[in-house]
Structure 1
């Protein structure tokens, strides 16, 4: 495959294969093949969003119940996560830190029944869940 001059110019400008594909309407694969053909190293991905900005991008408020649906990536178990520079952050953990100003103890889970909810008001860490369960048992006299 011969290198298209416009693709080669963008490669030399340090653009990623994805940015070249978006700008010129070629596939990322084509940009990568031309990059290897001209002997250019892989472009370094520049992350422009912080994990906090990603949380705001992916967390969407619902119209009822104060829930927030997660529209971003999830891990193998379906837990909402944010991935940045090979580090994975728990979206619920971030919501917990925003709400309570401290790191959670144990896993952070939603206290509501809505799958994928990451609303700050609907998350609890292990000690908080244990306290809620104890209160439930004291009131209703049964394991929850």
Structure 2
């Protein structure tokens, strides 16, 4: 037998106000209640209806990348766009999705990366193109160290 949990209007309102643009469905799922109940609370307190946002339409991979990242001190770049559930930053352009690291590498180096792309700087999550390395670059650096 499943226990029925009562959810107060205050709890629903708190969840609606927890983020910048929280959907009725997200709050309903959180509490296991109907979307309609959340919408009723939203209307009762005078919050505007939730309107699902449209993703910006980018003209190129470069536009998509720069539109979802920002330069920060020291030549690094912070990702402000979409992430996968595991936290990896991803760039969507037309019908394709690639990691921001691979896109940054390609835009900076003018070629596709070979193997995994890793950061050469110590700033977690940095997506600056000049701070991304592929297998070829790592092997060249390793050979240089051995000489």
What TM-score bracket applies, with the shorter chain setting the length? Answer: 0.5 to 0.7
Structure 1's 105 and 58: CA in aligned 2 closer, same or farther, altered over 3 A? Answer: same
Unaligned residue ranges in structure 1 (runs of 5+): 1-24, 30-44, 140-144
Asked whether the equivalents of residues 108 and 123 of structure 1 are also in contact (C-alpha less than 8 Å), the reply is: yes
> Equivalent of 1:58, from 51, 64, 68?
68
- Superposed displacement of residue 117, structure 1: 0.7
Unaligned residue ranges in structure 2 (runs of 5+): 1-47
Corresponding residue of 1:104:
113
TM-score computed with the length of structure 2 as normaliser: 0.56
May I ask how many residue pairs the two structures share in their alignment? 98
> Equivalent of 1:94, from 103, 124, 147?
103
Corresponding residue of 2:50:
27
Asked whether the equivalents of residues 70 and 116 of structure 1 are also in contact (C-alpha less than 8 Å), the reply is: yes
CA RMSD of aligned residues (A): 2.4
TM-score computed with the length of structure 1 as normaliser: 0.57
Whole-angstrom distance in 2 between the partners of 1:52 and 1:73:
15
Asked whether the equivalents of residues 47 and 84 of structure 1 are also in contact (C-alpha less than 8 Å), the reply is: no
